[in-house]
Structure 1
Amino acid sequence: MSVATAFERARAEGRAALVGYLPAGFPDVEFSIEAIRCMVDSGCDVIEVGLPYSDPVMDGPTIQAAAQQALEGGTRTTDVLRTVEAVAATGTPTVVMTYWNPVERYGVDRFAADLASAGGAGLITPDLTPDSAAGWTAAADVHDLDKIFLVAPSSTDARIAMTTAACRGFVYATAVMGVTGARASSSDLAGPLVARTRATTDLPVCVGLGVSHGDQAAEVAAFADGVIVGSAFVRTLLDHADDRAAGLSALAGLTADLADGVRRG
């Protein structure tokens, strides 16, 4: 299934989509595949497979810790592609989220070809902007892969328009929606960002970061086409590192709560 199809289905059901992130290889490759399949079975509409990287400057400590575990366990780009293949086989649209350096090292054209061959739907590139992405854009277009770039509250209207024009699949709107006291002001930033982004594109606009339970998912789903959750899934597995069965059970419960949230929103 394509990413577009997942959003069309969610829209037909009158709800936002739930987009779930987990790094490949965390805590090891086989278990990360099992965990992501659990997220799919429990209500995720789209999956983001993280490519572990040694210098994750835009990630918080939770995802950094998971990526470090994956790297220490020997996870490589080929393992990420194997994870994509296993998850995409469920019929759930699967994209890779990665910093640009590993793709460049692997080879841009080779990465695009191998991602498409694995059944991947596209790529989220948090540190690559459309005006620096000519090589990726060309490779993605050859293999019909989605190009998902980021917009932020600090983006100018012109910058948002340039970014959304280069996107395919959905647009990733970054706004912190954590459980701390900053949550209300972050929400104040997210809604207007989605509105500004929608003014430039018909693509779905998805919001991350920081959603950690169903009520927050409902709050974001009220104004966004998709709710992106990452750290909460990672934290659940970190909290159950000594009991993987309990970790999967907790992961299923969290996913179901979030899936209920996007339906209530």
Structure 2
Amino acid sequence: MSTRLRAQDALDRARSEHRAALVAYLPVGFPDLQTSIDAARVLIDEGADMIELGLPYSDPVMDGPVIQQAATASLAAGTRTRDVLTAVEALSGHGAAILVMSYWNPVLRYGPDALARDLAAAGGAGLITPDLIPDEAGEWIAASDEHAVDRVFLVAPSSPRERLEYVVSRTRGFVYAASTMGVTGARTSVSGAARGLVERTRSAGAQNVCVGLGVSTGAQAAEVAGYADGVIVGSAFVRALADAPDAAAARTALAATARELRTGVENPVRDATEDTSTTEATA
């Protein structure tokens, strides 16, 4: 069995280096299975602390057009859950925590207990479920406890205090803070609501809060790294892969994007009013 790095391990390592973790998303099977695995390896080599492997789904309600198009192409090529587990096994043990991001329907079809079992056996850290709320996740919570895999739930800027506490109490690994009420995709700026959401989620008891939706540049990564434990990037990597004319160009583009973003998380932009001791504890 592959060596299994958990999300907490990756976040603790980044924290010990006084920076936020870089979390990179790629859809499995785009443009084909081996290329998607090779692309993820490039991101690990260039400093990604965690890899989110997207399980392609026909109705990706949270994904923007870049990721939707990649997922559609992956499905058309025949990518299935077993291919995602193959990718997890190929990537685990190489220095990054490997998580799967999946809508709930494919998990239900595969079987929550079976997926938790097979994900752990492949060396995967856990599962991010963007459309599954913890209120309806009893079967998944039991399965993830049984097989010791992380379960990552989402919070949004609209989440009230009581809701944040509920989600935090049922999450393991990190809380995924959606920076905006919308879909994935590169933006010219990160929502101003993100910082407040991270602060409120921490106040509700979260040890680790990672921010996603909208980060695509080193400057944006540095901004988010100033207050979050992890910076999640998806569309920028998928676009680099999609726009490349060949495999060599794809590797070059992915590496350049990852280096820029890694530089960003290593050089966080702190709030001048932030207490230094708090900064060091939560970086």
Same fold by TM-score, threshold 0.5 exceeded? Answer: yes
- Cα pair 2:186 2:236 within 8 Å, conserved: no
Structure-to-structure mapping, 1:1-265, within 5 angstroms: 1-176=5-180, 178-180=186-188, 183=189, 186=191, 188-240=192-244, 242-265=245-268
> 2: distance between equivalents of 1:196 and 1:36?
32
> 1: distance between equivalents of 2:86 and 2:100?
12
Give CA-to-partner distance per residue, 1:178-232, whole Å, 9 cap, x none: 433xx36x1x200000000000124210000111111110000001010000010
Distance 1:82 1:4, change over 3 A: same
Partner letter of residue 179 of structure 1?
R
Give CA-to-partner distance per residue, 1:105-156, whole Å, 9 cap, x none: 0111111111111011100000001110000000000010101000000111
* Percent of aligned pairs sharing the same letter: 57
Unaligned runs of 5+ in 1: none
Give CA-to-partner distance per residue, 1:53-75, whole Å, 9 cap, x none: 01111100000001011111110
Following superposition, the deviation at residue 44 of structure 1 comes to: 0.2
> 1: distance between equivalents of 2:179 and 2:206?
20
> 2: distance between equivalents of 1:80 and 1:231?
19
Following superposition, the deviation at residue 91 of structure 1 comes to: 3.3
TM-score, normalised on structure 1?
Answer: 0.96
Unaligned runs of 5+ in 2: 269-283
CA RMSD of aligned residues (A): 1.1
- Cα pair 1:168 1:203 within 8 Å, conserved: no
Distance 1:178 1:28, change over 3 A: closer
Following superposition, the deviation at residue 5 of structure 1 comes to: 1.1
